[in-house]
Amino acid sequence: MLNIKPKITLVGAGPGDPDLLTLKAVKALAEANVVLYDALANEEILDYAPKNAVKIFVGKRIGNHTYTQDQINQLIVDNALTYGNAVRLKGGDPFIFGRGSEEIDFAESFGIETVVIPGISSVVAVPASLGISITKRGVSESFWAITGTTSSRELSADVALAAQSSATVVILMGMHKLPQIINLFQKENKGDLPVAIIQNGTTAEEKVGVGTVDSIEEVVKQQKLSSPAIIVLGEVVKESHKLKGFYEEFLSKEIAR
């Protein structure tokens, strides 16, 4: 029997467009004996793994958790011990709201070799793909990246703090908390602050809604926007040349009212 040396490589799959995968990630997938992949990782990326590699879906969607996080941690370890070279493929960057550090900590508690390959985070890549620069000289000096839903299923307390700042605010996993988010910004008298919501960013299924804090909920209803989506709040949204048409159309409707 062959002596199997377990190894776990945690790979960031990027924001959705398979072309935004890093070269290092492609090389890691090419050497995989087993790939455990998430719901937010584009399945086209699996083509970079050998045809005979075992591929296991361990994704989580709202209301449909195939596995708990503890079960995923155990699955990664079990498969590394069984097959040797295991790649854990996670959407975006695995250390930005991806619970990647928990998976690495669990694997290392078994003495298994681990490697982390960062991914292009949707926090910056999805707005950038629409011409939104989340920092811009003279407009925004910093940005907040916040999870809309914490492990206790509550809205992060950081959103209220972010609403008080002049920074760009990027919220992931926040669509189900949108009314609460809007309310916090309205309390800071920011009803006119530009907002963009980008669903399935950088993919062929991408949908975009643009408005202000006061109007964005109506835009979401009209355009039937839903998860997975990124919410961007800040003056930088209207600076985007790609969204200029959206904004002109939106403002003309507002004037018509």
Whether 38 is catalytic is yes
Which of these is catalytic: 7, 17, 93, 173? 173
Which of these is catalytic: 7, 17, 38, 177? 38
Give the whole-angstrom CA distance, residue 100 versus residue 103. 5
Whether residue 22 contacts residue 92, with contact meaning beta carbons closer than 8 Å, is answered with no
Whether residue 112 contacts residue 80, with contact meaning beta carbons closer than 8 Å, is answered with yes
Give the whole-angstrom CA distance, residue 126 versus residue 144. 15
Residues 6+ apart with CB under 8 A from 194: 210, 211, 212, 233, 234, 235, 236, 237, 238, 247
The label of the residue with tokens 């029997």 reads 1
Which of these is catalytic: 24, 60, 136, 207? 60
Whether residue 48 contacts residue 28, with contact meaning beta carbons closer than 8 Å, is answered with no
Which of 226, 234, 210, 237 lies closest to 173 in space, CA to CA? 226
Strands 143-147 and 54-57 come out as unpaired
| CB atoms closer than 10 angstroms to residue 46 | 19
Give the whole-angstrom CA distance, residue 66 versus residue 175. 21
Whether 78 is catalytic is no
| Backbone φ, ψ for residue 185 (5° rounding) | -75, -35
User: Which residues are catalytic, by number?
Assistant: 38, 60, 173
